[in-house]
Amino acid sequence: KCRTGPLDIVFVIDSSRSVRPFEFETMRRFMMDIIGNLELGPNATRVGVIQYSSQVQNIFSLKTFFTRADMERAINSIIPLAQGTMTGLAIQYAMNVAFTTQEGARPLHKRIPRIAIIVTDGRPQDRVTEVATQARNAGIEIYAVGIQRADMNSLRAMASPPLEEHVFLVESFELIQQFAKQFQDKLCGVDVCVEREHGCQHSCVSTPGSFYCECNPGYRLNGDGKTCSPIDACADGRHGCQHHCVSVRGSYSCRCRPGYALSQNKRSCTMIDYCSFGNHSCQHECVSIPNGHYCRCRSGFTLQPDSKSCRATDLCNGVDHGCEFKCVSTEGSYHCVCPEGQQLQADGKTCSKCGAGHVDLVMVIDGSKSVRPQNFELVKQFVNRIVDLLEVSPHGTRVGLVQYSSRVRTEFPLNKYHSADEIKKAVMDVEYMEKGTMTGLALKHMVEHSFSELEGARPLSHNIPRIGLVFTDGRSQDDISEWARRAKESGIVMFAVGVGKAVEEELRAIASEPVEQHFSYSADFTTMTHLVENFSLNICPEEGKGETEIRSPCECEALVQFQTNTVAILQSLTDKNILWARSLAQMTARLEDLEKQIANKK
């Protein structure tokens, strides 16, 4: 057997009329003798046969048969064409048809030798030189076998170089069988892979008179034609791996980043759900992340230092609760409350307005340089919080605003605006004055102008309470005592609000009796909004219902209400220092006087 490696062999047999029947039989045996010594098979040597005269006929192609028996049956069934001798046409057919991959030829990159054995007995009736050159350039190795009358020049024009190894001339058809053995030796030659040092790193493949190197699967042949390099299957970017591609001997596998698992499609990655393992110990919620998990608390709770347990958050300090008066935190939630005497509205946030009484309210705000612009904006917000508590209308509560520094300016009088929205907008439009702190001058302006009927104050006969609220952040640069006294003597209920460096002595001098109910203090501007609570009950008086009702402080109901309020004040004062004790004594004495009056009436 010829074991030099796989070949693709096509016999091109002359069946022109010059070949007599018994001579054609010797050509059949010539082909079968050569086929009988070849190792045939799909992965070994493949054989095809065509015959030609004036036309070309395909007997069987390279892909038709893979056993000797099938091929011999097909060769024995050949009927000669017995016409002309168009050898060039036969070579053209072999190149364009017989040696194509569609007809069973192995691809050129596999380096399987393509061999055409042309057997003829005469001179070609067409041109062979040009078409034979094209066939050789296409990678077909041509052996030209001439019998008897064959033209040597035509054989040499067809054959591959070196001609002495590819051109054969046999004197008669009778001698062709003896030539078959000689030709087989020439075709098979020496097994170079066995007999010589080939230098192939992986595999050596013998070809007639030569060899070539092949690489194992997953490797490619280097430029030197002998050594092999692994094929990087990831390099072309078509692997489809979501995370990482790992080359493995000409193939590849996908790998995921830490914390992810490879999906069933072996390409995409899914994050590992560490929470599903059930060992996280989170009190509320477990959240999976790559390489682990963390615990998360439900809304209204804060994660504790152990990173697992949760505790309720003071939502009043952490969210925009929207409560008009006061927010009260509960476990995981909060709710709004209103001042005593007011009810929470349906929205759960706002409180009922001062519908039980009406007042004339003038607010006097400090616009001195020490306040500073950003804090002045907080003062304006403080003013609007108070306005929110009032039921503003021409016949209800009226509001005026005065700003002072080294001078005094009426921002708007009591009769300027008739709704809370108008007042709040006007407050936010007020411009900061800066400069000094003339609190006494501001009190004088309030008494002489702000509470005049000309600027909207209602006549004293209407029994509409007049309330003055003075806001300051420091010591006055003028005397306040005289105009603070005159304000209270004229029937104005005075409230004093101090922030930061405000002087307590001055605040007490401004405030009406009982002083503890009429002055408040906050350490800084950012926390002063809670002071609104201190005024809400006092600026919504029960007795301020205009001309429709005038209540006597000696009436039993009024006395009981006053007594209740006083007891509450006494209770709060017990925690104060000795300075507050003086006020406690005064209040107790007043209470005893009132009790005596009740006893005398009885």
Domains: count for the chain: 3
Asked if the structure places residue 2 within a domain, the reply is no
If asked whether residues 323 and 381 sit together in one domain, one would say: no
Closest CA to 366 of 439, 429, 443, 441: 439
Round to whole Å and give the CA distance between 314 and 482. 46
More confident residue, 538 or 522: 522
Specify whether the CB–CB gap between 440 and 474 falls below 8 A.
no
More confident residue, 345 or 32: 32
How far, CA to CA in Å, does 550 sit from each of 327, 357, 362?
35, 11, 22
- Strand, helix or coil for residue 181: helix
Query: How much is the average pLDDT of 553-582?
Result: 46
- Tell me which residue has tokens 């009922």: 352
Specify whether the CB–CB gap between 470 and 494 falls below 8 A.
yes
Query: How much is the average pLDDT of 273-282?
Result: 86
pLDDT band at 548 (very low <50, low <70, confident <90, very high): very low
Round to whole Å and give the CA distance between 58 and 99. 12
Domain stops at, among 523, 539, 555: 539
pLDDT of residue 211 exceeding 60: yes
Dihedral (CA of 507, 512, 516, 521) sign: negative
Token pair of 214 as six digits: 């092949």
pLDDT of residue 508 exceeding 50: yes
Domain stops at, among 188, 215, 242: 188
If asked whether residues 69 and 168 sit together in one domain, one would say: yes
Cis peptide bond prior to 459, omega within 30° of 0: no
pLDDT of residue 448 exceeding 90: yes
pLDDT of residue 205 exceeding 90: no
pLDDT band at 276 (very low <50, low <70, confident <90, very high): confident
Token pair of 264 as six digits: 């069933």
pLDDT of residue 52 exceeding 70: yes
pLDDT band at 173 (very low <50, low <70, confident <90, very high): low
Please write the tens of the pLDDT for every residue from 419-433.
999 999 999 999 999
pLDDT of residue 20 exceeding 90: no
- Strand, helix or coil for residue 103: helix
Please write the tens of the pLDDT for every residue from 525-545.
766 655 665 565 555 544 344
Query: How much is the average pLDDT of 14-34?
Result: 88
Query: How much is the average pLDDT of 369-389?
Result: 87
Query: How much is the average pLDDT of 225-236?
Result: 86
- Residues linked to residue 51 through DSSP beta bridges, in sequence order: 13, 57
pLDDT of residue 469 exceeding 70: yes
Closest CA to 477 of 563, 396, 370: 370
Asked if the structure places residue 322 within a domain, the reply is yes
Asked if the structure places residue 202 within a domain, the reply is no
Token pair of 560 as six digits: 């009981």
Query: How much is the average pLDDT of 341-367?
Result: 77
pLDDT of residue 549 exceeding 50: no
If asked whether residues 475 and 385 sit together in one domain, one would say: yes
**Phi, psi of 375, rounded to the nearest 5 degrees:** -75, -30
If asked whether residues 350 and 442 sit together in one domain, one would say: no
* Run of H or E residues at 65: none
Asked if the structure places residue 304 within a domain, the reply is no
Choice among 335-349, 431-445, 502-516 with the minimum mean pLDDT? 335-349
Specify whether the CB–CB gap between 397 and 546 falls below 8 A.
no
Say what percent of the chain tops pLDDT 90.
39
Choice among 159-173, 381-395, 406-420, 586-600 with the minimum mean pLDDT? 586-600
Number of residues assigned to the chain: 602
Domain stops at, among 166, 188, 210: 188
More confident residue, 553 or 280: 280
More confident residue, 33 or 532: 33
If asked whether residues 372 and 397 sit together in one domain, one would say: yes
Instruction: Quote the pLDDT of residue 518.
Output: 86
If asked whether residues 179 and 46 sit together in one domain, one would say: yes
Asked if the structure places residue 492 within a domain, the reply is yes
If asked whether residues 398 and 319 sit together in one domain, one would say: no
Instruction: Quote the pLDDT of residue 584.
Output: 57
- Strand, helix or coil for residue 506: helix
If asked whether residues 487 and 368 sit together in one domain, one would say: yes
Please state the separation of Cα 312 from the chain's center in Å: 31
Provide the CATH number for the domain around residue 443. 3.40.50.410
If asked whether residues 320 and 417 sit together in one domain, one would say: no
The angle formed by the CA atoms of residues 221, 223 and 226, to the nearest 5 degrees, is 55
If asked whether residues 87 and 121 sit together in one domain, one would say: yes
Instruction: Quote the pLDDT of residue 509.
Output: 92
The identity of residue 72, as a single letter, is E
* Run of H or E residues at 327: strand 326-330
More confident residue, 16 or 231: 16
First-to-final CA distance of the chain: 147
Give me the domain span that covers residue 323: 314-354
Specify whether the CB–CB gap between 271 and 257 falls below 8 A.
no
Maximum alpha-carbon separation in the chain: 168
Query: How much is the average pLDDT of 432-437?
Result: 90
Q: Which residues contact 319 (CB under 8 A, 6 or more apart)?
A: 334
- Strand, helix or coil for residue 602: coil
**Phi, psi of 211, rounded to the nearest 5 degrees:** -165, 170
Asked if the structure places residue 587 within a domain, the reply is no
Closest CA to 483 of 508, 509, 461, 458: 509
Instruction: Quote the pLDDT of residue 187.
Output: 65
Query: How much is the average pLDDT of 565-573?
Result: 48
* Run of H or E residues at 209: none
Choice among 144-158, 305-319, 488-502 with the minimum mean pLDDT? 305-319
Mean pLDDT of the chain: 83
Round to whole Å and give the CA distance between 183 and 179. 6
Say what percent of the chain tops pLDDT 70.
81
pLDDT of residue 274 exceeding 90: no
- Strand, helix or coil for residue 50: strand
pLDDT band at 558 (very low <50, low <70, confident <90, very high): very low
Provide the CATH number for the domain around residue 324. 2.10.25
Asked if the structure places residue 495 within a domain, the reply is yes
If asked whether residues 123 and 24 sit together in one domain, one would say: yes
If asked whether residues 495 and 514 sit together in one domain, one would say: yes
Asked if the structure places residue 231 within a domain, the reply is no
Which range scores top for mean pLDDT: 14-28, 67-81, 108-122, 285-299?
67-81
